[in-house]
Amino acid sequence: MNITRQILDAFIDDHLNEQETIKVEKALRESPELQAQLTDIIKSRDMGDHSIGAIWRREHLSCPSREELLSYQDEALDLDRLDYIKFHLETVGCRACKANLSDLKNANPLPEDPALRKKHQQFLENSKILLPKKN
Q: Within 12-51, which residues bind another protein (CB under 8 A)?
A: 12-16, 20, 25, 28-29, 35, 38-39, 42-43, 46-48, 50
Contact 27, 16 (CB under 8 A): no
Torsion angle, CA of 87/51/55/21, rounded to 10 degrees?
50
Question: Which residue in 10, 72, 77, 89 binds another protein (CB under 8 A)?
Answer: 10
Residue 53 found at the interface with another protein (CB under 8 A): yes
For another protein, which is the closer residue by CB, 9 or 72? 9
Binding mask 106-135 for another protein (x = CB under 8 A): x--xxx-x-xx--xx--xx--xx-xxxxxx
Shortest distance in whole angstroms from residue 76 CB to another protein: 17
Shortest distance in whole angstroms from residue 75 CB to another protein: 17
